[in-house]
Structure formats: structure tokens, C-alpha cells
Structure 1
Amino acid sequence: MNIFTFKQEEDFIQTGASLIVSLIQGNPKAILGLATGSSPLGVYARLADMYTKGLVSFTEASSYNLDEYVGLPGEHPQSYNSFMKQHLFNHIDIDSTRTHIPNGHADDLQAECQSYDLMLEQNGPVDLQLLGIGSNGHIGFNEPDDNLSGGTHVVDLLEETIEANARFFTSLDEVPKQAITMGVGSIMKARQIVLLARGTDKAEAVKAALQGPITTECPASLLQCHPNVIVLLDEEAGRLLS
């Protein structure tokens, strides 16, 4: 792993965006694995800015998102489909037919999972997979467990994850209790992984993921087995690292 800790948020954001832009400039048809949550927001805003300035074009690129809530239609304001449009897709020139997000409102969720895996198999591997990390060490929505699924699957969200996401909803009761997520096996197939973590509430998870034992109880720790991982941290997220 290559681990970088930044004092300035500007440097954190620019480094993350530059990794993606450099990839697209060298390979316009690159496949991006994209994440939601607070950590990539600044990176997405910078990508939009760099596109507006004519520094990059996404017309030939494609993307696959990690996950989506079960039960929310794509147009729901808190769906990850809406998140990606609001924060990135509506501000760059990516072809909407090349953007892929699991359909958490599908009639047959198992068939949706199989279809998503088939697309990844036929079109992948992902060239650069962007990841955040949950305070419990989850990546995507792969929650800590005795066993982890390799492929796309439906997962029951842990109470701590539901509570962490409640800030985006009017009440705790409105937070979906399940999600479709790309599996750890699919994530690990990416040619390069960029893990973003910001904030003191992520420090323990970052410590466990990067310097703790490799265990399914901290799904992000499995990234230690990947040959090409770049970790971008702010000082708060990296404060426990030795």
C-alpha cells in the first residue's frame, strides 16, 4: 500500500482527482469504479471543475458504482443514483448509458445481482476503484461478518451503518435496512484501488484496515492483499497510524 496523509483538504482533494484524470487522459476508455458517501464529494467536485476547464473528457469512459439502497427508486433524492447525478454525472460529459448503478428497486434482486456481476465480468476489470470506508471497516456495503460474499449481493445493513446514514434522511425509520453491494471479490479484481478516508470517526477503522490483522471482521483489511492500493487520508483519519 502507498499511504498518504494530508494536512490540507485541498491537497487531499486534488490528489484524488488527479489520479482519476491522469488515468482518463492516458486511457480515455477507462472503467471507473465509483463510491458514494462524504469522502469522495470533494474529489467529484474537482473532477467537474477540471472537466469545465477542458482538462479532461469522460465521453469514452464508463463507470460502475459499488452499491445502492434496496427499496429506493432511482429518482428518490437519497438514492445513490440521485447522489451520483447530483455530485458528478450531471456536471461532466460522461455518456449516461455508460454509467451503471445496481437497481435496488428491481423486482428480482437476485437476478439484478447476477446481471451486475455479468456486466463486470464482460466489461471489466475496473481500472480504478474508488472506495470509502465505514466506521466499522466496511467497504461498499460489505459489512463485518464471519464470511464475506465475493460477488454482488443483497446485504442486511448493521444498526451502526443505519444510524450513520440516518443523517441523510428525515428519520431513522426512513433509512433502508438493506442494500445491493458489489462483493469484496469484485472490488479486489480492480487494477488499482484508491481508498479515501476523512475525519476522526474513521481513525479506528483506518488503523484496523491498514495495520491490523486481515479479517472479515474488518472487510477493508482485505485490501492489504491487493497489489496496487493508494490510500489518501486527512490527518484526523490517519491519527492512529504508527
Structure 2
Amino acid sequence: MEVVIAPAEELAKLAADTIEAKLRENPAAVLGLATGSSPLKVYDELARRHAEDGLSFAEAKAFMLDEYVGIDADHPERYRNVIETEIASRVDFAPGAVNGPDGLAEDLVAACADYERAIESAGGVDVQLLGIGTDGHIAFNEPGSSLASRTRIKTLTAQTREDNARFFEDDLDQVPQHCLTQGLATIMSAKHLVLLATGKGKAEAVHQLVEGPISAMWPGTIMQMHPHATVLVDEAAASRLQLGQYYRQTFASKPEWQGL
């Protein structure tokens, strides 16, 4: 696991560099898209590069991490709509290239199985963007999630619903209680994981993610087992890291050609 500590703007550029490099190498790459506040600067940077530098997504495919269950199709906080607003409509993805779990399906179990098959049929995710919750969840894999889990329905914790209430007019009653989410094993099947975290509120989760024991109580810790995982954090989110100075030294001395 590589840890990079830098200002948020620089972190966004590093993540965008990784996605751009993959698309330049393979225009038909498969990208994993996350919602929440963590990837927004990355999407802004990718949209800028598309508009100004001709970065194309025309042959690429994308898969979302998760989706609320039962939220209206036109609700602005439905994750499919969020992704459309934040990135898909700002670049040149082909129609139907961006996929997400179907939180409105009549048979949610079948929808989850279909989603797993769709990812596999696409050849798997090449670069997966991730954020992390204050309780250590990645995607909607809440504390206690099986480390071998696949896409499934989950019940959101009170903490996650409280954290997400800001997207629902600070009205907790509007926040859905259930979601469909890629499982931890599904996420771990991606070839490169790129997690972004900023702010002091994420400091303990980042500390556990990077330096704590692997545990279902901190689901993100499974990333320690991934052969190519990158954790991008600002100074505040890195404030609990015991080996912070070592991570800075390692990145500063890294060969430029190596990338993330």
C-alpha cells in the first residue's frame, strides 16, 4: 500500500493522472466511480482535461460502487444521477457505458448477481476510485461486513445515515436505510485501488486503514491485502498516522517514471 500525503488539489491531480494514464494506454479501460465528496475534485480535473486536452472516455466503460434502494429515479441524490451530474455528462462516455446497481429492481438479489456478472464480463475494473467513511466503510460495506462479500443489499448504519444527511437537507428521515453495494471482495478484484480522504474527521479511519489490523470492524483495512493500492490523504486526514514522515520520504524519493 502506497500512502501519499499532499494538499487536496494535488491529490486530485494525482488521481486524475492515474486515470488519464490508463485511458491513454488503453482507451477501452474500465473505471470504477465513487460518489461522496472525496472524488469531486478528481472529476473536476478529469472534466477539465477532457475539455482542454482532449482526454477521451468514448471507448471506456465505468461501474459505480453503490446505489440507494428505493430512492426515486429522478431524485438528485440517487447515485446514478449524481454520477451523471458530476462526471458522466461532462465527458464523452458513450450511451450506456456507465453502469450502476439497480436500486429500483423488483428482485434486488438478482440485480446484485447481474451486476457482478456485468463487471466480470467487462474484464474487471482497471482503476477503482474510493472514499472512506468515518467508521472505516468503503463503498457501503459497513463495519462487520464480510471481507469476502460480493455485491449485495446492505442496511446503512446510523452513523452513515447521519453523515449523509447533509445531502438530504439535513433531514435524517429522508436518507434511505438500505443500499446495494459492491462487496469487499468485488472491490478487491479491481486492478488498482485509489482511495482519497481529506479532513480531520477521516483521520482515525485512515489510521486504521493503513496501520491497523485487518478487521471487519474497519472494512477498508482489507486494502492492505491488495497488490496495488494507493491512499491519497491531506495533512488533516494523515494526522493520526504513526509513520507519516516515512510515507512522505518514500513518495519524495520515488522515481518519477513509476507513477502511482
SS of aligned partner of 1:44: helix
| 8 Å Cα contact 2:145-2:219 kept in structure 1 | no
Aligned to 1:85: 84
* Cα offset, 1:147, TM superposition: 3.2
Task: Tell me the equivalent position of 2:144.
Answer: 145
Runs of at least 4 residues off by over 3 Å: 146-149
Structure 1 Cα separation of the partners of residues 118 and 200 of structure 2: 37
Contact 2:147–2:222 (CA under 8 A) maintained in structure 1: no
Match of 1:3 in 2: 3
Q: CA deviation at 1:55?
A: 3.5
Question: Alignment length, in residue pairs?
Answer: 241
1:174 alignment partner in structure 2: 174
After the TM superposition, which residues 185-200 of structure 1 pair with which residues of structure 2 at under 5 Å, given as runs?
185-200=185-200
In the alignment, residue 240 of structure 2 is paired with which amino acid? L
Q: What's 1:162 paired with?
A: 161
The CA distance in 1 between the partners of 2:222 and 2:174, in whole Å, is 32
Quote the Cα distance in structure 2 between the aligned partners of 1:217 and 1:151.
17
Unaligned runs of 5+ in 2: 243-260
| 8 Å Cα contact 1:60/1:95 also seen in 2 | yes
CA–CA distance in structure 1, aligned partners of residues 145 and 61 of structure 2: 33
The 8 Å contact of residues 35 and 131 in structure 1, kept in 2 or not, is answered as: yes
Give the Å deviation of 1:125.
1.5
Q: TM-score, normalised by structure 2?
A: 0.90
CA displacement at 1:148 relative to structure 2: 4.4
Residue 205 of structure 2: aligned partner: 205
- RMSD across aligned positions (CA): 1.1
- Alignment map for 1:64-143 (pairs within 5 Å): 64-143=63-142
Counterparts of 1:221 and 1:4, CA distance in 2: 17
Measure, in 1, the Cα distance between the counterparts of 2:74 and 2:5: 36
Identity %: 42
Q: Deviations over 1:117-172 (max 9, x none)?
A: 11112212210111100100001000011634521000000000000000010311
Q: Which residue of 1 aligns with 2:58?
A: 59
Q: Is this contact kept in 2: 1:74–1:80, CA < 8 A?
A: no
The residue number in structure 2 matching 1:36 is 35
Matches within 5 A, 1:215-226: 215-226=215-226
What is the CA deviation profile of residues 172-203 of structure 1, one whole-angstrom value per residue up to 9, with x for unaligned ones? 10000000000111100111100111111000
CA distance in 2, matches of 1:203, 1:92: 33
AA matched with 1:116: Y
Residues 199 and 236 of structure 1 are in contact (CA less than 8 Å); yes or no, is this contact kept in structure 2?
A: yes
Opposite residue 139 of structure 1, the aligned amino acid is I
Contact 2:139 2:182 in 1 (8 A): yes
C-alpha distance 237-67 of structure 1, shift in aligned 2 (>3 A): same
Give, in whole Å, the separation in 2 of the partners of 1:83 and 1:201. Answer: 23
- TM-score normalised over the length of structure 1: 0.97
8 Å contact from structure 1 (residues 75, 81) kept in 2: no
Aligned residue type for 1:50: R
3-state SS, counterpart of residue 96 of structure 2:
helix
* Structure 1: segments with no counterpart, 5+ residues: none
